[in-house]
């Protein structure tokens, strides 16, 4: 199981499935969140609309009732100034008001202190309905009930306009909540002399507001301008608590908004928390009195549809994700299975089984391309291996032949040193190190009639072509040299032979000399080769003066010019090919003539073979591991 999990995590299918899961989960979550948010907003909008619609209906009814009271007072008030001659008639007026308006509970015409001198300080005829509904009348004012300081009297008097009192419990009516509409009455001088009032029981209002059923579990409130509850499901709170009592000291934003809106008679809605539960409070003012009617709805009630939808969506989402994971994992597994097979095939091919059967791909997609690539790889590998086998065989054959050619070439040049051990008038050392198996450098010498014939040369190019020209040149020198006395003749003869049929324009530089071992006279001819160096017995090193002429094999009939000089005893003739002075190190820096001359100068006392070894050692040191790019040949002759 653990292994499987690891495999799942480590596999492409596992990673792809995980990625699909994560991306899908994010998309699902985002989509659900946005959807639910939009749904919640829509629900809230509709709830707000519904709540305010219900509130508006109720408020219209309330306003209609309140306005009817105002009209009743208006229709009655005009009688008062006409009957001021009879204080007792005021009772008739209030009684008639009650008789004509069943919804009015009580009415008074309360006069300013001592208005009727005969009636005393307090005179406020008052009619009301007793518990049996009969209309009774009494004089309201007394020392213990100084109505002049009651809100219903004092406030409209100070404001100079009619006024609806804030609701209050009626002392006589038990639990009955009342409000009083008061209208000041003015005499001809504009001085207020009385207040005519109508008391309205608010029981109907409690019923009306209580009956609003905007939502299943919502309840309704009504508060007066001083924020006291007029309607509340908990009757104990009515006129005892305000909507801000229990939250006194809180500084919450929603409370401030509620406070601000209600004080300024504005409609609105806020979200409130109470005992851990959240509620929407939709409120709207009664225009006539600025009391606020509110519908309180638990958020859970409002969003219960959305919550149900959310729960369903979560279940559906989770199920969808599980199904998606299962299906996508299976699908991905199916897609990547051939890759695992290709992996096995690749291992077998790596182990040399080029003919392994490839997985069968029927689709025409990337896997088909992979299959074709593998097939092409198989064919290419088989072909390549075949070619490699053939090439390797050829190479081995050529290398074998080259090894033979090398032996043959080396066999063509003298390689036994000292060559003339029996003689004490000449010491000679020579060495040829080809850059490849076979090279184009050459040297040769022989003594005949007490004359040392010698040649050093360098064929253009390298490898087999150059080695063939070298072989020809060496053979010609051996066969031709002894037939001529002068080096230029030998050179000319060599030139003619090499130039003849030289379609490939191969050529060979050469320095050919004949040293008379008796006299020290040296005859020589240079054919485009480096001028040899003379090392005298005092250690002085100087090049032999040479006429360059042309290398051998280029132009038939070229008139080569010979030269001659005399070599003193103990002097050495140092000849070399350009593989010495032009030997390069890794920085492409050449060994150089100066360094060669300096080397020879400092080793002038050495014997030819020692000088030769010294030179090779120094060139190797200079090359410092760089590949030898040209054949290196040195021949050094000391006349003794």
Partner 1 sequence: MNNMKKYLTLLCFILVPFFQGAAQKITFTPQWTPQSQFAGYYAALENGYYDEAGLDVSIVHPTTSYSSMNMLLDGTSDIITSELIQAMTATKQGVRLVNILQTTQHSTLVLISHIKDINKMADLAGRRVGTWKVGFSEIPHIIDEKEGLGIEWIKFITPLNLYISGAIDATIGKSYNEEILFSMSGITPGSILRFSEIGFDYPEDGLYVSEEFYKKHPEQCRKFAEASRKGWEWVRNNREEALGIVMKYVKEENVPTNIYNQKWMLNTILEVQEDVKGNAPSYKLNIEDFNRLNELLIQYGYISKPVEYKGFIGE
Nearer to partner 1, 243 or 438 (CB): 243
Q: Measured between alpha carbons, how far is 594 from 554 in angstroms, rounded to an integer?
A: 30
Nearer to partner 1, 258 or 600 (CB): 258
Name the burial class of residue 104, with classes exposed (0-12), middle (13-18) and buried (19+) by CB atoms within 10 angstroms of its CB. Answer: buried
Q: How far is the CB of 166 from partner 1 (least distance, A)?
A: 5
Q: How far is the CB of 147 from partner 1 (least distance, A)?
A: 9
Evaluate the CA torsion angle 366, 372, 373, 375 in order and state its sign: positive
Taking every pair of Cα atoms in the chain, the longest distance, rounded to a whole number of angstroms, is 189
Q: How far is the CB of 257 from partner 1 (least distance, A)?
A: 11
> Token pair for residue 48?
């707000």
> Token pair for residue 230?
């007029």
Q: Which of 199, 196, 198 is nearest to 84 (CA)?
A: 196
Nearer to partner 1, 258 or 535 (CB): 258
Q: Measured between alpha carbons, how far is 366 from 372 in angstroms, rounded to an integer?
A: 10
Q: How far is the CB of 271 from partner 1 (least distance, A)?
A: 18
Q: How far is the CB of 249 from partner 1 (least distance, A)?
A: 8
Residue 223 CA: distances (Å) to CA of 177, 286, 371: 13, 10, 83
Nearer to partner 1, 102 or 253 (CB): 253
Nearer to partner 1, 76 or 224 (CB): 224
What contacts 218, CB < 8 A, 6 or more positions away? Answer: 295, 296, 297, 298, 301
Q: How far is the CB of 189 from partner 1 (least distance, A)?
A: 20
Nearer to partner 1, 143 or 357 (CB): 143
| Contact set with partner 1 (CB under 8 A) | 143-146, 149-151, 154-155, 158-159, 163, 165-166, 168-169, 225-228, 237, 239-246, 248, 258-259, 262-263
Q: How far is the CB of 188 from partner 1 (least distance, A)?
A: 25
Residue-by-residue DSSP string for 477-544:
HHHHGGG-SSHHHHHHHHHHHHHTT-TT---EEEEEEEEETTT-EEEEEEEBPPPPEEE-TTS-EEEP
Nearer to partner 1, 225 or 333 (CB): 225
Nearer to partner 1, 226 or 561 (CB): 226
Whose tokens are 């009083």? That residue is 180
Examine residue 437 and say whether the peptide bond preceding it is cis (omega within 30 degrees of 0): no
Q: Measured between alpha carbons, how far is 259 from 164 in angstroms, rounded to an integer?
A: 21
> Token pair for residue 350?
């790596």
Q: How far is the CB of 19 from partner 1 (least distance, A)?
A: 57
């Amino acid at each position: 199981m653990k292994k499987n999990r690891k495999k799942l995590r480590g596999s492409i299918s596992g990673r792809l499935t995980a990625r699909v899961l994560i991306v899908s989960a994010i998309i699902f979550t985002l989509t659900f969140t946005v959807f639910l948010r939009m749904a919640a907003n829509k629900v809230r909008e509709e709830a707000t609309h519904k709540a305010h619609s219900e509130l508006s209906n109720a408020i219209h009814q309330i306003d209609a009732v309140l306005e009817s009271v105002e009209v009743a007072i208006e229709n009655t008030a005009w009688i008062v100034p006409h009957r001021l001659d009879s204080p007792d008639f005021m009772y008739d007026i209030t009684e008639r008001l009650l008789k004509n308006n069943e919804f009015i509970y009580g009415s008074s015409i309360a006069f300013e202190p001592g208005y009727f001198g005969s009636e005393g300080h307090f005179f406020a005829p008052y009619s009301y309905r007793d518990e049996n509904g009969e209309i009774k009348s009494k004089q309201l004012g007394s020392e213990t009930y100084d109505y002049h300081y009651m809100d219903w009297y004092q406030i409209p008097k100070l404001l100079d306009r009619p006024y609806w009192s804030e609701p209050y419990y009626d002392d006589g009516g038990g639990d009955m909540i009342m409000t009083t509409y008061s209208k000041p009455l003015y005499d001809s001088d504009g001085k207020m002399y009385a207040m005519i009032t109508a008391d309205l029981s608010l029981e109907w209002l409690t019923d009306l507001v209580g009956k609003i059923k905007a939502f299943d579990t919502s309840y309704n409130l009504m508060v007066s301008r001083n924020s006291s509850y007029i309607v509340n499901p908990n009757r104990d709170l009515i006129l005892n608590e305000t909507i801000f009592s229990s939250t006194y000291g809180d500084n919450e934003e929603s409370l401030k908004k509620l406070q601000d809106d209600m004080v300024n008679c504005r409609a609105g809605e806020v979200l409130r928390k109470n005992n851990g539960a959240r509620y929407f409070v939709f409120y709207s003012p009664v225009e006539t009195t600025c009391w606020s009617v509110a519908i309180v709805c638990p958020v859970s009630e409002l969003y219960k549809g959305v919550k149900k939808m959310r729960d369903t969506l979560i279940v559906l989402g989770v199920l969808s994700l599980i199904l998606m994971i299962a299906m996508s994992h299976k699908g991905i597994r199916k897609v990547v299975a051939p890759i695992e097979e290709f992996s096995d095939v690749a291992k077998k091919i790596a182990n040399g089984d080029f003919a392994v059967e490839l997985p069968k791909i029927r689709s025409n997609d990337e896997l088909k391309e992979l299959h074709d690539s593998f097939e092409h790889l198989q064919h290419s590998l088989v072909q390549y291996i075949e070619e490699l086998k053939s090439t390797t065989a050829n190479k081995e054959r050529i290398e074998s032949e080259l090894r033979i050619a090398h032996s043959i070439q080396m066999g063509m040049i003298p390689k036994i040193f000292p060559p003339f051990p029996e003689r004490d008038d000449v010491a000679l050392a020579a060495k040829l190190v080809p850059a490849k198996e076979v090279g184009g450098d050459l040297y040769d010498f022989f003594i005949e009639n007490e004359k040392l014939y010698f040649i050093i040369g360098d064929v253009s190019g390298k490898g087999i072509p150059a080695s063939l020209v070298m072989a020809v040149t060496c053979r010609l020198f051996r066969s031709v040299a002894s037939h001529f006395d002068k080096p230029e003749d030998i050179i000319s003869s060599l030139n003619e032979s090499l130039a003849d049929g030289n379609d490939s324009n191969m050529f060979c530089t050469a320095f050919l000399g004949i040293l008379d071992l008796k006299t020290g006279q040296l005859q020589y001819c240079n054919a485009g080769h480096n001028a040899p160096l003379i090392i005298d017995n005092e250690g002085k090193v100087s090049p032999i003066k040479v006429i360059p002429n042309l290398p051998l094999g280029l132009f038939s009939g070229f008139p080569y010019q010979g030269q001659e000089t005399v070599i003193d005893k103990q002097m050495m003739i140092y000849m070399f090919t350009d593989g010495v002075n032009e030997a390069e190190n890794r920085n492409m820096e050449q060994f150089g003539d100066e360094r060669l001359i300096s080397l020879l100068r400092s080793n002038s006392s050495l014997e030819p073979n020692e000088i030769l070894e010294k030179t090779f050692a120094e060139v190797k040191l200079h090359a410092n591991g760089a590949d030898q790019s040209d054949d290196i040949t040195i021949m050094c002759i000391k006349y003794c």
